[in-house]
Amino acid sequence: MEQRFTLYTWQLPDWDITKENRDPSKGPLRWEEDTWDRLQPLYKKLEEKVGTLDFLWCYPAYEYWKQYKISRLWVLDVPSLEIFKFFDSKIWEVMFDCVDNNKQPEDIHWDQLIVEKSEGIKMLSSGNKNDITPVILVPISPLIRVIDKSRFNKGPNHSNARYEDLPTSVCEAKKCRNERPKPGSWRQRRKGRNSLS
């Protein structure tokens, strides 16, 4: 029997993931420019490894997206057959640390990043959601049901905002951004591993 999972993904507010492919040139719209410049080589290699540009990262449980730039939260009901890949979240964090320290991730990290699909499903089913990142293809399959797409992030000044407290329009989300965050490392401003638009 096929399982279904509720997955969450933060994406650009005007991108319709039900109809459009991913446009890598929009990365600077999602990240601060210096951050995007540093991360782009990592993403290019990841796209080569998985064999497509048209995928997006999901959270297996709700997590707040602290970035300054406005993002829309999509809540999806996803059949297990529609999960394209699983990434090991801890390995991805190690790879981010490498980039943050101006190093390239080692080959062993790339070898360990992708988790066998059956193992990923087992981890999701057992509630072990912190160590796994589900990835789906875009445009999303008609078999994936959109539960909600009406919420937006508040910006980095609102850490760990509850789902119920998220603004329900871009206009409301802009009001939450009274000031830009104080300068700090991109690593401090970044939230989680759902980093591809």
Note the pLDDT of residue 43: 87
Here the tokens at position 128 are: 């072990």
E-strand ranges in 44-144 read 55-57, 72-79, 83-88, 114-115, 132-137
Contact 139, 11 (CB under 8 A): no
Give the distance from CA 119 to its chain's centroid. 20
- Cross-strand pairs, 7: 76
Distances (CA, A) of 137 to 9, 57, 83, 189: 12, 9, 8, 27
In angstroms, the CA 23 to CA 17 distance is 11
Please tell me the predicted confidence (pLDDT) of residue 56: 94
pLDDT of 179 reads 46
Of all residues in the chain, what percent carry a pLDDT higher than 90?
64
State the Cα–Cα distance between residues 137 and 139, nearest whole angstrom: 6
pLDDT reading at 139 higher than 70: yes
